[in-house]
Amino acid sequence: MLNTKYIAELEEYLKSGNLEEDFKWSVEERRGEILEFLEKLMDLGELADQTATHIIFKGQLGALMGMPGEKAEPEEPSPAVEQGASMEIPQK
């Protein structure tokens, strides 16, 4: 599941300063939700970095050592992929 439209909307929401403005005028409970959302987003950024590193370099060490390459079978999609999981953009 790759939703580039959602990523672009989220990027614009962050770059525009609208999230900061929403935070500024929100009640305490909503501010907590926004901070939790940002924390989750940062965690996902770290996971994306780890995943990209794994995808890019998978099997590269073995190739450098002269070992035959892996012919890995594709894994079954996770339930989140099958269900089309996504995160919501905080609304005003």
Q: For 46-88, what is each residue's pLDDT tens digit?
A: 999 999 999 888 867 667 766 665 555 566 766 665 555 555 6
- Number of structural domains (the chain) is 1
Structural domain includes residue 27: yes
**Rounded to an integer, what distance in angstroms lies between the CA atom of residue 42 and that of residue 36?**
10
Structural domain includes residue 30: yes
92's CB contacts (< 8 A; 6+ apart) are 18, 22
Structural domain includes residue 92: no
**What is the separation of C-alpha 47 from the centre of its chain, rounded to a whole number of angstroms?**
7
**Neighbour tally for 86: CB within 10 Å:** 10
Q: What is the pTM of this model?
A: 0.64
Structural domain includes residue 55: yes
Structural domain includes residue 59: yes
Range of the domain at 56: 4-65
Q: What pLDDT, on a 0 to 100 scale, did the predictor assign at position 86?
A: 58
Structural domain includes residue 72: no
